[in-house]
Amino acid sequence: RTAVGCLLELAFKVAAGELKNGFAIIRPPGHHAEESTAMGFCFFNSVAISAKLLQQRLSMGRIL
């Protein structure tokens, strides 16, 4: 939860223009987690959660 929260804060600050860019060094990275299943040390797919919230809250389309 802390890793997801850190990434969300970073993503929203970059999207709002408060920061020019950012790099999150967090654990778990989320690359093993599936949509509804935790795998390995990845309980949440922090990248997918951040992208989805940026799309929903800021009406963003595609996210790289």
Catalytic machinery residues: 32
Contact 46/26 with Cβ under 8 angstroms? yes
Distance CA 56, CA 26 (A): 23
Closest of 19, 31, 25 to residue 2, by C-alpha: 25
